[in-house]
Structure 1
Amino acid sequence: MPSVTVNATRMELTRLKNRLKTAVRGHKLLKDKRDELMKQFLESVRENRTLRRRVEEGLMRAHGSFTVASALMSPEGLEQALLYPKQRVELDMTTRNIMSVPVPMYTFRTKECKGKELYPYGFAMTSCEIDGAVEALSSVFQDMLKLAQVEKTSQLLAQEIEKTRRRVNALEYVMIPRMQESIKYIRMKLEENERNNIVRLMKVKDMLLAEALEEKRRQDQKIVQHL
């Protein structure tokens, strides 16, 4: 017996067959989508691991240089040296589509406020270690932005994989078996109705044959009485 009530008619059987065909095709497409999403996700995770290691190394270099610079310079001098930057960063975000999942793409441009120098201070009153820290931060910034993009992409892909996995499981373990069970039930009911109809027709035939024999017997009796 199916878990839901269905009309055991040929029209309902045809409708369920069409729905089952669509569900099976959708199940295959969703499985293909899930597999491709998993491939993209694993590539994103590998890229994320590489970028994170590179960013951490760059930040450690910058932190080491800043630590040495802060030891050689006064806190006021260090703050004054970095107070007015010479470069301004403009960040743009666009999206690209991965298997119907919009993921972000970050790009940035730097604009010099004064001249083309990276360092916003003079070299006479500052330590050379601060130059290395500023240069390390400048070089690691692109990787940090790429890392943020890859991590967000991984998060969105993971959410879509989970959503697609639930849909695949719902089709595979709930909807398709339920429709198959309903189709089997309708077929059994139709076959049962067919057998019942055949039995009724045979009974009607037997009744008609019995009536015909009875009529013939009465006709024979009338003929015998006339003789």
Structure 2
Amino acid sequence: MAENVAPTRSNLLQRRDQAKLAIRGADLLKRKRDALVGEFFALVKASLEARRQLQQASRDAYFALFLANAWDGPEAVGSLALAQHQGLEIPLKMENIFGVKVPQVQPPSFDAALPFSPVGAGTSTLEAARQFRKLVEAIVKVAATETRLRKIGEEIKKTNRRVNALEQLVIPGINYEIRHIRSVLDQRALEEVTTLKRIKAKLEARDEADAAKA
């Protein structure tokens, strides 16, 4: 509350400095928000493309599985699938984007060779295995892109709330205090001038009276 602020010149200077700092902070936050919005829309485009690739990879993989079951038999395909014990490594590191830490996921690391002996495996089954590897890669790409998209979207909302708080609450509050302090100081200055004028008038009147008696 402005009424709780002592109306002194030092407080006036302090509030002016605070107002400048708050305005500068709001400007920096708006620049950050604008940069994040640009990054967000770029990621939206990348996310849509990753989704498209996932849908295509899914169609290719399940069509290849359909052919493998048709040509090699579901028993052969199932036995090779059960024999698959290869682990999946997904490298992950954090990236700083305009002060926001977002995960950067690398494509999954597959061994060059298939996780089972191709001897005795039908051509269709081998192709199905390759297509499902591509499907896993597409799933990881979608997850990575959409995770980054969500993190940046959350940061945009947070930054926007901070900008609104500064522009709608903090800065107006400081400006109100500045106006209050200035009003009180101006009133004091006016009262001091009025008092000085009265004192001067009294002194002049006394001098005139003394001169008349002399």
Please name the residue that 1:110 is paired with: 110
RMSD: 2.3
Question: Of 168, 181, 186, which aligns to 1:186?
Answer: 181
Distance 1:211 1:105 in 2: 88
Gaps of 5+ in 2: none
Based on CA coordinates, which of the two structures has the bigger radius of gyration?
A: 1
Where 1:65 maps in the other structure, the secondary structure is helix
Letter in 1 for 2:159: T
Distance 1:119 1:145 in 2: 19
**Which has a greater percent of strand?**
1
Distance 2:10 2:184 in 1: 13
Please name the residue that 1:155 is paired with: 150
Distance 1:139 1:76 in 2: 23
Q: CA separation of 1:64/1:4 partners in 2, compared to 1, >3 Å: closer, same or farther?
A: farther
Deviation, structure 1 residue 161: 0.3
Distance 2:2 2:192 in 1: 27
Where 1:205 maps in the other structure, the secondary structure is helix
* 1:174-217 per-position Cα deviation (integer Å, ceiling 9, x unaligned): 11122122212222221111111000111111122222233334
Deviation, structure 1 residue 127: 5.2
TM-score normalized by structure 2? 0.88
Deviation, structure 1 residue 73: 6.0
Distance 1:144 1:95 in 2: 19
Please name the residue that 1:46 is paired with: 45
Does residue 1:211 correspond to 2:209, yes or no? Answer: no
Q: 1:48-63 to 2 correspondence within 5 Å?
A: 48-63=47-62
Distance 1:53 1:4 in 2: 61
Please name the residue that 2:99 is paired with: 100
Where 2:89 maps in the other structure, the secondary structure is strand
Distance 1:133 1:57 in 2: 14
Gaps of 5+ in 1: 221-227
Is the Cα–Cα contact under 8 Å of residues 65 and 132 in structure 1 kept in the other structure? yes
TM-score normalized by structure 1? 0.83
* Alignment size in residue pairs: 213
Deviation, structure 1 residue 128: 4.1
Q: CA separation of 1:4/1:156 partners in 2, compared to 1, >3 Å: closer, same or farther?
A: farther
Please name the residue that 1:64 is paired with: 63
